[in-house]
Amino acid sequence: MKSYRKELWFETKARRVYINITPQVEECLRESGISEGLVLCNAMHITASVFINDDESGLHADFERWLEKLAPEKPHSQYAHNGFEDNGDAHLKRQIMGREVVVAVTDGKLDFGPWEQIFYGEFDGGRKKRVLVKIIGE
Ligand code: ZN
């Protein structure tokens, strides 16, 4: 069995943003030389997510509105977590949007359903953060 590991780095200016990282994950898969197996892709930070959904700007605006209803950023004082930090909302948003995705690898390609794409969801940007890509198979 082959094994491959890579960290993808992100530093967004905006506090919240969604980035389609499918091309980077496909590049990792090419580098790995693995044609049958599994890709695990996870945020390495507890205020960011990796998730699969449609690359459609209206949907991303809907995510933003929905998450702001569930866990509004402000006022910062509404969260017990805040005080030293101001990212209580970002921890909650990450919890809803998830930590990781697993994608099957078949014939050297990500074996997606229709419209599936992999996204990095940043909820507390402005600093360097990582996504782990781990691929196993043969
Ligand atoms: Zn925090």
Class level of CATH domain 2-137: mainly beta
Average pLDDT, rounded, for the chain: 98
Given pLDDT bands bounded at 50, 70 and 90, which one contains residue 33?
very high
Expressed in angstroms and rounded, the spacing between residue 26 Cα and the centre of ligand 1 is: 31
**Residue 59: per-residue pLDDT:** 98
Average pLDDT of span 69-84: 97
If you measure from the C-alpha of residue 43 to the centroid of ligand 1, how many angstroms do you get, rounded to a whole number? 15
Distance 81 CA to ligand 1 centre (A): 7
Tokens read off for 135: 């691929």
Alpha-carbon distance 20 to 60, whole Å?
11
Q: 9 CA distance to ligand 1 centroid (A)?
A: 19
Q: Which helix (H) or strand (E) holds 103?
A: strand 100-106
Residues 6+ apart with CB under 8 A from 119: 18, 19, 20, 21, 49, 50, 51, 52, 53, 55
